[in-house]
Amino acid sequence: MSFDFKKLDEEIRLECHNQAWRGWYEEEVDKLTPVFHLERVAFEHIGSTAVPGLVAKPIVDIMVGLSKLELSDEQIEALEKLGYRYFGALREGRLFAAKRGQFCFNLQMVVIGESEWHGKLAFRDYLRCQPEKVREYGNAKLNAIHAGKVTLLEYHGFKESVVETILEEALAQKRDSQAP
């Protein structure tokens, strides 16, 4: 069974980087920690809001690294009590939940150490140290909006090739830095 991505579609807007996003992330992790208290878990601030200087949707992406890709009914209920809508498997290797309101969050739950985990961190870390790639990616985002791609699915589709190219570069750099 495949995921119906139309469930995620929403109108989007972009903002200049906001230093407050880091604080949003930290406060939300404090609220999320009890949900995952019984297992080995790690939290990472990912996505565009985690990259200084990058234009972004004002939605903080939090990656939750789990030891196995499953949530109990109690965990799902606890997320819902925090205002999250749980979507389940977004695609193989990733569970997804979203919270909208005054402060907006996306939770991407993945297994620590697997490809989704490494890819998200490599992408973020690469952008953090490559200002020309931040400009390139930011321009792709702005071009999407200027082209009228103002819903999430259209927006992501428009900039997908740039994201894939940057991800490939990030993973190559990570491999090269780990080579003996």
Whether residue 160 has pLDDT greater than 90: yes
Number of domains the chain is built from: 1
Which CATH number goes with the domain that contains 105? 3.30.460.10
What's the average model confidence in pLDDT over 86-114?
93
Domain span at residue 65?
5-178
Using a cut of 0.75, tell me whether the model's pTM lies above it.
yes
For the cut 70, the answer to whether the pLDDT of residue 173 exceeds it is: yes
Quick check: 146 pLDDT over 60? yes
Residue 111 reports pLDDT greater than 80: yes
* In contact, 71 and 107? CB cutoff 8 Å: no
Place of tokens 């750099």: 173
How many angstroms separate the CA atoms of 148 and 118, rounded? 32
| pLDDT number for residue 15 | 97
- How does pLDDT run across 26-61, given as a tens digit for each residue? 999 999 999 998 667 899 999 999 999 999 999 999
